[in-house]
Amino acid sequence: MAERFTKSMARNIYLGGSAFFVLLFLALTYDTQSRAMPERDNRELITAEVAQGKHIWEENNCVGCHSLMGEGAYFAPELANVFDRRGAGDSATFKSYMRAWMNAMPTNVPGRRQMPQFNLTDEEIDALAAFLEWTSKIDDNNWPPNIEG
């Protein structure tokens, strides 16, 4: 009978379906990597200072307390938009904010969550500021929705 569902039909649906979705997955991965990400991440703005700032960010495990674009810990404020929040759109203003902030830690205000003193040099803090400024310019669909993080 023509409408009989055979083992080989089932196998073909299985193999054809798998091949279709593997190819779709590969095409979407290619599209994300080659088109979507470069449009969003402003990689042309990654300077040596930004790269150095990312290393300092990682070495000091800032993400152990902070989140960056929603990833990380929720003990301390989101920092993907700290440049927008404290920098008034200006790199120099933000660098001086970052130096003042990093050097003032810990505040030792009773009842307030504390951030450690990292004893970073001015150059290292400037690099962190450059990294966080670059991060704020990634197109992350305006995450977080609130300027205070």
CA distance 129 to 98: 6
Selected binder of ligand HEC within 127, 128, 130, 134 (CB under 6 A):
128
127 binds ligand HEC (CB under 6 A): no
- Least distance to ligand HEC, CB of residue 94, Å: 9
Identify which of residues 32 and 91 has a Cβ nearer to ligand HEC in the complex: 91
Whether omega for the bond prior to residue 116 falls within 30 degrees of 0, making it cis, is no
**Tokens 């960010």 appear where?**
57
The rounded distance, in Å, linking the Cα atoms of 90 and 74 is: 27
Stretch of 1-9, 14-22, 24-32, 69-77 contacting ligand HEC, by CB under 6 A: 69-77
Q: Is 43 in the site for ligand HEC (CB under 6 A)?
A: no
Binding test (CB under 6 A) with ligand HEC, winner from 1, 39, 108, 112: 112
Q: How far is the CB of 48 from ligand HEC (least distance, A)?
A: 18
Contacts of 79 (CB under 8 A, 6+ apart): 62, 66, 67, 68, 132, 135, 149
First to last CA, the chain: 65
- Is the distance from CB of 117 to CB of 46 less than 8 angstroms? no
Q: Which stretch binds ligand HEC (CB under 6 A): 8-16, 27-35, 37-45, 76-84?
A: 76-84
Site residues for ligand HEC per CB under 6 A:
60-62, 64-66, 75-77, 82, 85-86, 101, 107, 112-116, 118, 128
